[in-house]
Chains A and B, each alone.
Chain A
Amino acid sequence: MTETATGTYVIRGAAILGGDAEDLLIRDGVIAGRGIGLSAEGATVIDAAGLVALPGMVDIHTHLREPGREDAETVETGTRAAALGGYTAVHAMANSNPVADTAGVVEQVHSLGRASGWVDVRPVGAVTVGLAGEQLAELGAMADSRAQVRVFSDDGICVHDPVLMRRALEYVKAFDGVVAQHAQEPRLTAGAQMNEGTVSAVLGLAGWPAVAEESIIARDVLLAQHVGSRLHVCHVSTAGSVEIVRWAKERGINVTAEVTPHHLLLTDELVRSYDPVYKVNPPLRTDADVQALRAGLADGTIDVVGTDHAPHPSEHKECEWAQAAMGMTGLETALSVVQETMIETGLMTWADFARVTSTVPAAIGRVADQGRPLEAGEPANVILVDPAARWTVDPHKMATMGRNSPFAGRELPGAVVATFFKGHPTVLDGKLNTPYRHAAEPAGAGSNN
């Protein structure tokens, strides 16, 4: 099999990172030119007047569910959703079944991603065997595998043992890895159902206190400082967490932090409906937390937006709140929610958007060829966005198998018109086109054994 002949495209008059309108020439997988009045023989011309050109988005936090829960999502369906949402790379979290805690499982996910061809799939390796929090998984083997794992996380479960966390932070330095922590003190959150506060008091649902997140982040930034390691904090959800991360950065600690789109928009007031579509971990917090998260993302305290896309079969949400699974879909709404909460509020520009959705997440994950500038010679991972579009979220029209979107019925701004992945349009006119076809993997690394 050979790589797709990706063709030649002239994107005519797109606002580059929201700035002045210019043309982009895409040829043979790279941006061959940027300027005014570009043309090329045989090129397909895309009229991008009124559209914004951005680097392909990179999700640092995606659940693709495969292997093990193919009734919830597969690599194929999840990466279709990603492409439609403007992504050209996703990090697939390790809490599959079997857990991605060996080179074999991460290579499987990696291969499924290449076979699908909608985005780069970067497997995340588990920190501990079986996410059990007892023994380090073979982090080095995963790093050296074809999947080239650089992000390690027990996401869904906190690496709460301080010694184990310290060792993991130290160990991944050997291959430039990063530990992405799900910050949740387990004893303070036993049985927790929602944010602990005035709403949980009335609803009689067991509380998930902010301190359970903040105490772990405080501990981990101090550990990262002590051992001189790189730490990534998943889905920061409280105002206090933002303050701790800000403090850590001021001290020069090598920490990055992520916020989800849903934590930038939704609050625990929605739980009054007892509709489990609003059940997520960490839980929806208060409006004061939402405002602090937006401010933190705007001032760089929070580095990236990660979707924590978590599809579930409908029967896991059509039940009592306490029985329901935690998680929300997010790949196909992330751009719109960030536009609504950060750009339309004047807190960020499209250039800032590119930083938090592409450049920095690619850097955290050490993803080559992603999150690059839109300049001649760079890989052609490019999206075109119509910022003037408005649409009403209908989960049944999404590519993800998950119907658990908390934004269902909500009108949101912004639409992805096209996604170029390695110079090939995976999305055109807002619809899936065709996947990119990778060349065969290097000799000796095939999967026929």
Chain B
Amino acid sequence: MKHLLSTENLGAADAIRILDTAEEMAAVGDREVKKLPALRGRTVVNLFFEDSTRTRISFEAAAKRLSADVINFAAKGSSVSKGESLKDTAQTLAAMGADAVVIRHWASGAPHRLASTDWIDAAVINAGDGTHEHPTQALLDAFTMRRHWSRLHSSSSTGADLTGMRVAIAGDVLHSRVARSNVWLLRTLGAEVTLVAPPTLLPIGVEHWPCKVSYNLDETLEAGVDAMMMLRVQGERMNASFFPSTREYSRRWGFDDARLRALDDLGLKDTIIMHPGPMNRGLEISSAAADSPRSTVLAQVRNGVSVRMAALYLLLSGDSREAAPMPGTARSDKESN
């Protein structure tokens, strides 16, 4: 791998290698000295065109635990209307000797532009681009699911995939980079995915995705779910006729207290509740659900650092940068069917 741009073209072997490496990195986080010398002398730039304190500090912690030098570059605002173009920013970072660029951008495809142009030669990690993808979020979600799934089956998570796991993802799929990255990665890892959303918040063409689609959260739960992932509802959707009101949204598609109880009633004692954060408590998830023992919200945050350490390590260390094809540049025929 040279870049980590999407999960759409991330093969199973690469995905499992990242997850396995993340397990090793997690062990570092449990030590008294939470630091490895692996990336000493390497420079990682966090290039953020959009506010995201959580993702940025997660990448920052990951890079620092690997002893990399970290530069945080907050480039808010549009690149053409004010300030510098993405091209100029990239060339500036290249001139400063960046080895990896972790980019968060409001425009879908911006990380692909960095990776596919000659503006910069560094490894590019997509830390969320527009409504396209957020591959490290999907990897940390998969990591969290895999630990849970392995524990249930009393097996080692190393080398394992998610075959047979039933995952439901509920919320604003249309605008969610987290949902997209999860659908592709979970498909690759063998999980069975169901998207649950109001029809207005599903993209045209979702019927071609490798998952089931439901408009009914209760029926999805009744069919059996091992991991229930709730997506954040963005404020700007609320006044754009995607749904009539936040209360109606919450009743039909939120994970409320009644649905939390329903998991017990349905005998789904091992079902976990996931959320990429930040949560809208009382909208897509109730406080009782968010704080229940089923919730993996904080484990996801913790695992995020391990997964991002693994990604940085695999992209920047040794000869792996030239070894494998770049994910996200070529696309095989059947991948989205």
Interface residues of B in 98-156 (CB under 8 A from A): 105-110, 112-113, 116-117, 129-133
Tell me if B336 and A202 are in contact (CB < 8 A).
yes
Tell me if B205 and A272 are in contact (CB < 8 A).
no
Tell me if A204 and B80 are in contact (CB < 8 A).
no
B52 within 8 A of A: no
Tell me if A323 and B205 are in contact (CB < 8 A).
no
Shortest Cβ distance from B133 into A: residue:
A204
Tell me if B108 and A202 are in contact (CB < 8 A).
no
Tell me if A197 and B205 are in contact (CB < 8 A).
yes
Tell me if A320 and B203 are in contact (CB < 8 A).
no
Which listed residue, A202, A205, A321, A323, touches B80 by the CB 8 Å rule?
Answer: A323
Which listed residue, B110, B112, B209, touches A201 by the CB 8 Å rule?
Answer: B209
Tell me if A204 and B132 are in contact (CB < 8 A).
yes
Tell me if B177 and A204 are in contact (CB < 8 A).
yes
Shortest Cβ distance from A275 into B: residue:
B116
Tell me if B79 and A202 are in contact (CB < 8 A).
no
Interface residues of A in 23-67 (CB under 8 A from B): none
Tell me if A322 and B130 are in contact (CB < 8 A).
yes
Shortest Cβ distance from A209 into B: residue:
B204
A200 within 8 A of B: yes
A207 within 8 A of B: yes
- Binary A-proximity of B153-177 (CB < 8 A = 1, otherwise 0): 0000000000000000000000001
Given A202-B180, A203-B132, does the pair A322, B107 have CB atoms closer than 8 Å? yes
Given A202-B180, A323-B79, does the pair A315, B205 have CB atoms closer than 8 Å? no
Query: Among B85, B130, B336, which residue has the most Cβ atoms of chain A within 10 A?
Result: B130
* Count of A-B contacts judged by CB separation below 8 Å: 83
B331 within 8 A of A: yes
Tell me if B130 and A204 are in contact (CB < 8 A).
yes
Interface residues of B in 57-109 (CB under 8 A from A): 78-80, 85-87, 105-109
Once bound together, how far apart are the Cα atoms of A211 and B204, in whole Å? Answer: 13
Q: B89: shortest Cβ distance to chain A, in Å?
A: 11
Number of B interface residues at 8 Å Cβ cutoff, please give it.
32
B226 within 8 A of A: no
Once bound together, how far apart are the Cα atoms of A202 and B132, in whole Å? Answer: 7
Residues of A within 8 A of B129 (CB): 204
Q: A202: shortest Cβ distance to chain B, in Å?
A: 6
Shortest Cβ distance from A197 into B: residue:
B205
Interface residues of A in 270-321 (CB under 8 A from B): 272-275, 315, 318-321
Residues of A within 8 A of B109 (CB): 203, 205, 274, 320-322
Residues of A within 8 A of B85 (CB): 315, 318-319
Shortest Cβ distance from A205 into B: residue:
B108
Query: Among B108, B112, B130, which residue has the most Cβ atoms of chain A within 10 A?
Result: B108
Which listed residue, A197, A200, A207, A274, touches B116 by the CB 8 Å rule?
Answer: A274
Tell me if B116 and A273 are in contact (CB < 8 A).
yes
Which listed residue, A200, A206, A273, touches B205 by the CB 8 Å rule?
Answer: A200
B256 within 8 A of A: no
Tell me if A204 and B336 are in contact (CB < 8 A).
no
A392 within 8 A of B: no
B284 within 8 A of A: no
Once bound together, how far apart are the Cα atoms of A318 and B117, in whole Å? Answer: 9
Query: Among B80, B107, B109, B331, which residue has the most Cβ atoms of chain A within 10 A?
Result: B109
Shortest Cβ distance from B206 into A: residue:
A201
Given A203-B132, A204-B132, A275-B116, does the pair A321, B209 have CB atoms closer than 8 Å? no
Residues of B within 8 A of A274 (CB): 108-109, 112-113, 116
Tell me if A319 and B180 are in contact (CB < 8 A).
no
Q: A286: shortest Cβ distance to chain B, in Å?
A: 11
B334 within 8 A of A: no
A434 within 8 A of B: no
Tell me if A323 and B204 are in contact (CB < 8 A).
no
Residues of A within 8 A of B206 (CB): 201
Tell me if B108 and A322 are in contact (CB < 8 A).
yes
Tell me if A319 and B112 are in contact (CB < 8 A).
no
Shortest Cβ distance from B115 into A: residue:
A274
B192 within 8 A of A: no
Tell me if B132 and A320 are in contact (CB < 8 A).
no
Interface residues of B in 183-204 (CB under 8 A from A): 203-204
Q: B237: shortest Cβ distance to chain A, in Å?
A: 13
Tell me if A323 and B108 are in contact (CB < 8 A).
no
Interface residues of A in 150-205 (CB under 8 A from B): 193, 196-205
Once bound together, how far apart are the Cα atoms of A174 and B28, in whole Å? Answer: 82
Once bound together, how far apart are the Cα atoms of A274 and B130, in whole Å? Answer: 13
Q: B178: shortest Cβ distance to chain A, in Å?
A: 11
Given A204-B132, A204-B180, does the pair A323, B116 have CB atoms closer than 8 Å? no
Once bound together, how far apart are the Cα atoms of A162 and B125, in whole Å? Answer: 48
Once bound together, how far apart are the Cα atoms of A203 and B130, in whole Å? Answer: 9
Tell me if A320 and B86 are in contact (CB < 8 A).
yes
Tell me if A319 and B203 are in contact (CB < 8 A).
no
B269 within 8 A of A: no
Once bound together, how far apart are the Cα atoms of A396 and B297, in whole Å? Answer: 53
B261 within 8 A of A: no
Tell me if A198 and B107 are in contact (CB < 8 A).
no
Residues of B within 8 A of A319 (CB): 79-80, 85-87, 113
Tell me if A318 and B204 are in contact (CB < 8 A).
no
Residues of B within 8 A of A205 (CB): 108-109, 130-132
Residues of A within 8 A of B117 (CB): 318
Residues of A within 8 A of B80 (CB): 319, 323
Residues of B within 8 A of A200 (CB): 203-205
Which listed residue, A201, A272, A320, A322, touches B204 by the CB 8 Å rule?
Answer: A201
Once bound together, how far apart are the Cα atoms of A316 and B25, in whole Å? Answer: 42
Known: A199-B205, A205-B108. 11 other contacts (CB 8 A): A198-B336, A202-B205, A203-B132, A204-B131, A207-B203, A273-B116, A274-B108, A319-B86, A321-B108, A321-B109, A322-B106
Enumerate the 7 nearest inter-chain pairs by beta-carbon distance, A residue then B residue, closest first: A274-B109, A204-B132, A201-B203, A204-B131, A198-B205, A201-B205, A320-B107
